[in-house]
């Protein structure tokens, strides 16, 4: 963001710029990247070493890396899960996946014997700007969220608060094995807020998709107002579905509208003209539901590149239209189960053959843990199946939704939703090297007869040992390679939280943190 950006306090400039001395387009490894010893499993060590077994060597930018003897959960239908194999990475790309690989003499080796190597997880819907209020809404419903975030607090965010939330969320994502995150950034009410959002994503070194949104205005106004073109020219040489840049762009807004005149048309036409996909909240209880899907269909905007977030309160006809269009659904099971958008619709969506990805929504409420997302999705789907069977005095003998399904949703499903499935989502030669190594020496991961099952039901964020994005090691031996990024993220987030709490006021804060206990009201299905 330019130093002359209007409306910023002088001390905000540090929050909108990379850490001093670090160039955004290069990666300088800190001491945490130095090789060492970290037991991973039976006979296995997360030791990085040169071919001469020098334990003090560091990963160098552009240096080939080979993972040795890992249990490789490839998500590649032709390879499946390999009990013990090597994976060679060169120039940011997976080169080979097989046992006993030959590696270049200058390759850094990671002895991953006994560990699990998986494709990086992809979160297709997270409101990163809200991360500075982590946990505040743990007792909220969707009604509470609309009141305090949409109506009362949202406009309190300064650009530096958006930066702090995005930066913290990206550091957290990398640390927990999420290599690609969709920043569903619907708090971008000014150009300065938009610049802050994208700069935070770029500064993090992770892979991200900025889903540009603005809950403070109608999409037909803000989409066509000129700022997105400015943002593209300023920041994006490859705005859509490219791995050449770590940060790409799309658009985000709520619903499709119930007005038969379809005033949102200019926004959709803009998206088509710029080749920008759209991700939209849809099928949320209390919104216009099926009429919004029908309006999109009638006006020619039910597109194969659309992502429908939640899609939890729709009728059969809407699922059929989405399926026919080739669109996809992002399911946030922790969110839907707790907030009330509708029951997680994996059964309905799956029955119609609609592609699925997973997401965590917002850490104002819940965790940002994609392992939890996989478990919550399984729990919701299977629990509903058992309940429905019991109501008919029946017993479910075999579960329909399987571990392999949700693991695919969290990896390849996310890549497909972003139209990047040919470049991300599985450990396949030719794809970008976005990889996660999980330790297997913990009590909860031992023994490990079925790696896929362990990834979904046993693994925790604490087991994330090594994270690679585009061939660059961002975490190793359980520590971020740039450990200062975590310190900086925590400091900026705390400063932002202090500011927001002061602006909100003690009484309003306490009311929000402890909302009244259970009550219901008649649903309002009209758009404001």
Which domains are present in the chain? 34-120+425-476 (2.30.40.10), 121-417 (3.20.20.140)
**Res 498: pLDDT:** 98
Q: Report the candidate in 31, 40, 35 with the shortest Cα–Cα distance to residue 463.
A: 40
Q: Other C-beta atoms within 10 Å of 298: how many?
A: 11
Q: Other C-beta atoms within 10 Å of 28: how many?
A: 12
**Res 14: pLDDT:** 44
Q: How far apart are CA 83 and CA 265, in angstroms?
A: 52
Helix (H) or strand (E) holding 337: helix 333-339
Q: Other C-beta atoms within 10 Å of 64: how many?
A: 18
Residue range 338-353, pLDDT digits in tens: 999 999 999 999 999 9
Task: List, in order, residues 6 or more apart from 322 with CB less than 8 Å away.
Answer: 293, 302, 306, 308, 311, 329, 352, 354
Q: How far apart are CA 328 and CA 252, in angstroms?
A: 14
**Cβ-contact 171, 480 below 8 angstroms:** yes
Instruction: Please check the confidence at residue 36 and state whether its pLDDT lies above 50.
Output: no
Q: What is the mean pLDDT of residues 41-50?
A: 45
Of the given ranges (252-261, 291-300, 307-316), which has the lowest mean pLDDT? 252-261
Residue range 189-222, pLDDT digits in tens: 999 999 999 999 999 999 999 999 999 999 999 9
Instruction: Please check the confidence at residue 45 and state whether its pLDDT lies above 80.
Output: no
Of the given ranges (77-91, 152-166, 202-216, 244-258), which has the lowest mean pLDDT? 244-258
Q: Give burial (CB, 10 Å; 0-12/13-18/19+) of 252.
A: buried
Instruction: Please check the confidence at residue 520 and state whether its pLDDT lies above 90.
Output: no
Q: Other C-beta atoms within 10 Å of 244: how many?
A: 11
**Cβ-contact 322, 348 below 8 angstroms:** no
Q: How far apart are CA 354 and CA 266, in angstroms?
A: 27
Confidence of residue 16 (pLDDT cuts 50, 70, 90): very low
Give percent of the chain with pLDDT exceeding 90: 81
Confidence of residue 522 (pLDDT cuts 50, 70, 90): low
**Cβ-contact 374, 456 below 8 angstroms:** yes
Confidence of residue 73 (pLDDT cuts 50, 70, 90): very high
Confidence of residue 58 (pLDDT cuts 50, 70, 90): confident
């Amino acid at each position: 963001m330019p130093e002359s950006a209007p409306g910023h306090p002088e001390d905000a400039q540090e929050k909108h710029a990379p850490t001093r001395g670090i160039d955004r387009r290069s990666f300088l490894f800190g001491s945490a990247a130095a090789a060492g010893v970290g037991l991973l499993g039976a006979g296995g060590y997360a030791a990085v070493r040169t071919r001469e077994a020098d334990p003090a060597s560091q990963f160098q930018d552009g240096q080939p890396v080979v993972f040795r003897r890992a249990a490789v959960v490839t998500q590649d239908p032709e390879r499946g899960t390999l009990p013990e194999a090597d994976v060679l990475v060169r120039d940011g790309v997976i080169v080979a996946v097989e046992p006993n690989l030959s590696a270049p003499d200058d390759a850094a080796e990671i002895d991953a014997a006994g560990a699990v190597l998986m494709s990086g997880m992809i979160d297709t819907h997270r409101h990163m700007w809200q991360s500075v209020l982590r946990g505040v809404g743990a007792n909220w419903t969707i009604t509470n969220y609309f009141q305090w975030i949409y109506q009362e607090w949202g406009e309190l965010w300064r650009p530096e608060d958006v930066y702090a939330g995005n930066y913290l969320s990206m550091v957290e994502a990398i640390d927990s094995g999420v290599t690609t995150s969709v920043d569903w950034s619907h708090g971008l009410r000014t150009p300065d807020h938009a610049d802050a959002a994208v700069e935070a994503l770029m500064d993090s070194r992770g892979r991200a998709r900025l889903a540009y949104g603005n809950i403070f205005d109608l999409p037909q106004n803000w989409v066509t107002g000129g700022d997105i073109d400015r943002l593209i020219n300023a920041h994006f040489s490859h705005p859509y579905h490219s791995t050449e840049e770590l940060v790409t762009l799309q658009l985000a807004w709520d619903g499709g509208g119930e007005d038969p005149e379809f005033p949102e048309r200019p926004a959709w036409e803009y998206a088509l003209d710029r080749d920008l996909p759209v991700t939209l909240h849809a099928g949320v209880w209390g919104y216009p539901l099926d009429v919004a899907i029908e309006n999109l269909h009638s006006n020619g905007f039910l597109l194969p590149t659309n992502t429908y977030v939640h899609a939890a309160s729709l009728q059969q006809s809407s699922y059929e239209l989405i399926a026919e269009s080739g669109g996809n659904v992002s399911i946030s099971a922790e969110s839907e189960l707790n907030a009330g958008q509708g029951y997680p619709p994996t059964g309905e969506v799956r029955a119609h053959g609609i592609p699925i990805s997973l997401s965590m929504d917002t850490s104002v409420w819940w965790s940002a843990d994609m392992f939890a997302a996989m478990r919550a999705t399984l729990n919701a789907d299977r629990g509903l199946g058992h309940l429905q069977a019991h109501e008919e005095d029946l017993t479910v003998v075999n579960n329909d939704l399987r571990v392999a399904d949700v693991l695919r949703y969290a990896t390849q499903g996310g890549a497909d939703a972003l139209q990047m499935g040919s470049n991300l989502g599985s450990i396949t030669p030719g794809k970008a090297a976005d990889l996660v190594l999980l330790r297997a020496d913990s009590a909860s991961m031992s023994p490990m007869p079925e790696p896929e099952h362990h990834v979904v039901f046993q693994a925790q964020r604490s087991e994330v040992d090594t994270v690679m994005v585009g061939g660059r090691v961002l975490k190793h031996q359980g520590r971020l390679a740039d450990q200062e990024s975590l310190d900086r993220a925590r400091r900026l987030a705390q400063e932002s939280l202090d500011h927001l709490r002061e602006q909100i006021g003690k009484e309003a804060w306490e009311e929000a943190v402890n909302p009244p206990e259970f009550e219901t009201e008649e649903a309002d299905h009209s758009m404001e």
